Amino acid sequence: MNVLVIGMGYVGTTTGLVLCEQGHKVIGLDIDKNKINSLNDGKLYFYEKGLDELLISHLNRENITFTTESMDAIQSSDIIFICVGTPKNEDGKADLQYVREVAMLIGRYINNYKLIVIKSTVPVGTAETVTNIIMENNRDHIPFDVVSNPEFLREGNALSDATNPDRIVIGSSNMEAAKMVSELFTKMTAPIVMTTSKTAELVKYASNSFLALKISFINELSTLCDRMNIDIDEISMGMGLDHRIGPYFLKAGLGYGGSCFPKDVDALLTTSKEYGVNLSILEQVVSINESKPLYFIEKVSRTLGELKNKRIAVLGLAFKSGTDDTRESPSLRIIEYLLNAQSIVRVHDPVVTTSMKEVEQFTNVIDTVRDVDAVLICTDWEEYKQLDWSKVKEVVKQPFVFDGRNILNKDELTKVGIHYYGIGKP
């Protein structure tokens, strides 16, 4: 099959390369020339482990090419995946501008039957909107089908999630078209859910919102654990062993960030209100999440006293480990609070370089923590787990470590003379 993937973000680039792995010829299309040039040169413009090797391998075998020329790309393909971004609008809704533009281009340039697959996270009813836009622009009434196929991969695990998904959800009003999409994934063993487009679209929002709910639940419980001197990680373990609950997404921390959960929970809330239903449970999920960075800072200031002129090391800028993405990263909120309190902020991240002028960034953790009054762990990078904390103890001014991700072992840090404060830890 000749497959076109439109939108070369995390989802589009990964989808394109995984389709190459399944034996298809792929064209990647994007309006951003810099992204396209970089991909054609075999360079990923974002950090995602394992994807760069795959990119080079498929470029060398001529299984994939990247272009900004939409007409040629659309006309030479049988199947078109829409993977463009759907960022949050001011009113909380998903912005469908890019999806609409792509639909218009497909309608304008369609030259023979096309199977159009929507992978972008889109509000319920978007498959219908896309169908209508293509029809309006499709003067010669060339046949096409639109199928919804939401993506569930995580940044930092993109490749393994995309090649070993838990399920494949395919929604369409035309079962033949849905079947054609399922045939693209015959090498995968995941169960396939065949349903309507609207259901597929809602499954995606429901999944992300439920995962966000699990995180907010455990984070709120961690506040109770703080007061009760109980270890939240032991609670998570005890709960997670019940297979009805499961151990995943029960790690207490600084709250969820990234480009998906915050946007998708808001979008589902907004949609539900449009239908006259108030999903108040999700309002709580959002408000608990928003409270976590400040709660963490309050913990720091209870120990350090006034934060003005205190030197603070913030370890980690990315919203989670395995990515260079800082969108909605709790770390940035924490830095903002520290700067407002006039602290002197020193930062480190193994892959992110900040453009913030008010902070000093170091490439080495020991240089970052030299002479500081406190060390704040804000991203769960492996590098911080592996640190020699006795070396940290030697160079800091005051040995206070606040672990916003519960990745360190309190006993080991205490042994070398560090005062350790976790989230929901005795």
**Interface contacts to ligand UGA, rule CB under 6 A:** 121, 151-155, 208, 211, 215, 249-251, 253, 256-258, 260-261, 319-320
HSE (side-chain half, CA atoms, 13 Å) at 350:
15
Tokens 């015959």, located at residue: 186
Q: How far is the CB of 245 from ligand UGA (least distance, A)?
A: 13
Within 10 angstroms of residue 411's Cβ, the number of other Cβ atoms is: 8
Whichever of 256 and 400 has its CB closer to ligand UGA, that residue is 256
- Is residue 12 within 8 A of residue 82, CB to CB? The reply is no
Indicate the burial class of 415 (C-beta count within 10 angstroms; 0-12, 13-18, 19 or more). exposed
Whichever of 261 and 381 has its CB closer to ligand UGA, that residue is 261
Whichever of 65 and 157 has its CB closer to ligand UGA, that residue is 157
Q: How far is the CB of 129 from ligand UGA (least distance, A)?
A: 20
Question: Closest by alpha carbon to 37, among 59, 68, 16?
Answer: 68
- Is residue 163 within 8 A of residue 18, CB to CB? The reply is yes
Question: Closest by alpha carbon to 114, among 82, 84, 160, 136?
Answer: 82
Q: How far is the CB of 35 from ligand UGA (least distance, A)?
A: 18
Indicate the burial class of 343 (C-beta count within 10 angstroms; 0-12, 13-18, 19 or more). buried
Whichever of 153 and 285 has its CB closer to ligand UGA, that residue is 153
Pair of tokens at residue 417: 């003379």
Q: How far is the CB of 402 from ligand UGA (least distance, A)?
A: 16
**DSSP H helices in 84-169:** 97-109, 126-137, 158-163
Whichever of 35 and 119 has its CB closer to ligand UGA, that residue is 119
Q: How far is the CB of 267 from ligand UGA (least distance, A)?
A: 11
DSSP 8-class letter at 87: P
Q: How far is the CB of 36 from ligand UGA (least distance, A)?
A: 22
378 flagged as catalytic: no
User: Which residue of the set 83, 225, 260, 378 is catalytic?
Assistant: 260
Whichever of 102 and 211 has its CB closer to ligand UGA, that residue is 211
DSSP string, 40-68: HTT--SS--TTHHHHHHHHHHTTSEEEES
Measured over all CA atoms, what is the biggest interatomic distance in the chain, rounded to whole angstroms? 76
Terminal C-alpha separation, the chain: 57
DSSP 8-class letter at 170: E
Q: How far is the CB of 369 from ligand UGA (least distance, A)?
A: 22
Whichever of 155 and 373 has its CB closer to ligand UGA, that residue is 155
Phi, psi torsion values for 419, nearest 5 degrees = -85, 115
Question: Closest by alpha carbon to 193, among 233, 241, 148?
Answer: 148
Active-site residue list: 260
